[in-house]
Amino acid sequence: MQKLDGDGLVFMHAGGTVVLRTLQPGEVLRVDTGCIVAFEPSVQFDIQQAGGIKTALFGGEGLFFATLQGPGKVWMQSLPFSRLAGRMLQADPQQAGSKGEGSILGSLGNFLDGDNP
């Protein structure tokens, strides 16, 4: 994490939709650690384990989540870079991602389109 301090403008990059949430005093928000873009210094930040081994293996959210407690503003992103990269790799036919998408003919359709030799 990086702390920004001082006067001026800051430009930050985030993926997907950016959501601003204003937490009330004592209000708690639990989110995936990769979804946090920024938060004000008044917000308390902590990392906690996400449930047990079943949740970690089959939950799809990872091993840890962030706990943010108000008051203050929190900016979150819906598509962290790690998920974006994973989705791009899945969609790449060179990486065995999308086989036969968009054609009911499957590989025959790709052959006719010139995608396969």
**Please, what are the domains in the chain?**
18-113 (3.60.160.10)
pLDDT in tens, 31-84: 988 889 999 999 999 998 776 666 666 655 567 789 999 999 999 998 876 666
Q: Which range has the worst mean pLDDT, 15-29, 32-46, 96-110?
A: 96-110
Residue 54, phi then psi, degrees to nearest 5: -65, -45
User: What's the predicted TM-score (pTM) here?
Assistant: 0.63
Q: Answer whether 73's CB lies under 8 Å from 39's CB.
A: yes
**Tokens standing for 112?**
């006719």
Residues 3, 41: Cα–Cα separation, whole Å: 9
Query: What's the mean pLDDT when you consider all of the chain?
Result: 77
